[in-house]
Amino acid sequence: MVKTIIAPSILSADFSNLGCECHKMFKLRADWVHIDVMDGHFVPNLTMGPPIISSLRKAVPRGEKDGQTTHFFDCHMMVANPEQWVPEVAKAGGDQYTFHYEATKDPVKLVELIKSHGLKAACAIKPGTSVDVLYPLADKLDMALVMTVEPGFGGQKFMADMMPKVEALRAKFPNLDIQVDGGLGKETIGVAADAGANVIVAGSSVFGAKDPGEVIRYLRDTVENAQKKAKAKPKPNL
């Protein structure tokens, strides 16, 4: 069974205090922090890049617990030329490099490049992209990301009609980490968890909450309960 991973998106954090914001999330038992890198070309917005990742890594050093990397930086690269930035993100201290399928002509070669730089490799698809494109890649990936909003801006409404993509991925690849990103919070986590998502990106619902730790716990509990229900469900006779 895949592990539940909660990854608050620092796109919704206080940019004047990012190091402390990251430490706060990890102290509240977030597993990762999700770092949205936008270049103003692939998406119509411009956000943080490798220099910010590098500064954050100095403020939030990696650790290790039970054989797992702590203070994990999940870098979501919404960029037009993802190949260009792999060495820079690796050097800056990223842990996982998520590229968009729509942004590259050779995803297999890009996965190989990412892994050659010591990063975990993940591939994202936009809402208008068929989930089928991920099937030939899945065995090579550490994670697949199904966008539940159009990439580029935080605070958008969750697109529940993306859940069949998650269900299809989970049915074909039961051990794959499947991430959902966009509009996740208490009101929407249930349908995502039931579909089989285990890596949850949440921005404004966490950073904008009066009690962010309670929201993180709620997200985690919902996903874990859905996994238990799925495991207990009788398997059909084939």
What Cα–Cα distance (Å) separates residue 210 from each residue in 31, 160, 200? 20, 26, 19
Q: Which residues pair with 46 in a beta bridge?
A: 39
E strand or H helix at 20: helix 18-27
Q: What is the 3-state secondary structure (H, E, C) of 75-121?
A: EEEECCCHHHHHHHHHHHCCCEEEEEHHHCCCHHHHHHHHHHCCCEE
Is position 153 annotated in a ligand binding site? Answer: yes
Among candidate residues 31, 36, 95, 194, the one labeled active-site is 36
Is position 54 annotated in a ligand binding site? Answer: no
Is position 155 annotated in a ligand binding site? Answer: yes
Is position 34 annotated in a ligand binding site? Answer: yes
Q: Which residues pair with 74 in a beta bridge?
A: 34, 96
Is position 154 annotated in a ligand binding site? Answer: yes
Is position 161 annotated in a ligand binding site? Answer: no
- Separation of alpha carbons 125 and 207, rounded Å: 25
Among candidate residues 31, 74, 181, 194, the one labeled active-site is 181
Q: Which of 33, 46, 15 is nearest to 152 (CA)?
A: 46
Main-chain phi, psi angles of 39, to 5 degrees: -105, 0
Is position 116 annotated in a ligand binding site? Answer: no
Is position 204 annotated in a ligand binding site? Answer: yes
Is position 40 annotated in a ligand binding site? Answer: no
Is position 36 annotated in a ligand binding site? Answer: yes
- Separation of alpha carbons 212 and 204, rounded Å: 10
Using an 8 Å Cβ cutoff, are 223 and 189 in contact? yes
* CA count, 13 A, side-chain hemisphere, 57: 18
Task: Decide if 36 is catalytic.
Answer: yes
Residues designated catalytic: 36, 181
Binding-site sequence positions for a divalent metal cation: 34, 36, 76, 181
Binding-site sequence positions: 9, 34, 36, 76, 152-155, 181, 183, 203-204
Binding-site sequence positions for substrate: 9, 76, 152-155, 183, 203-204
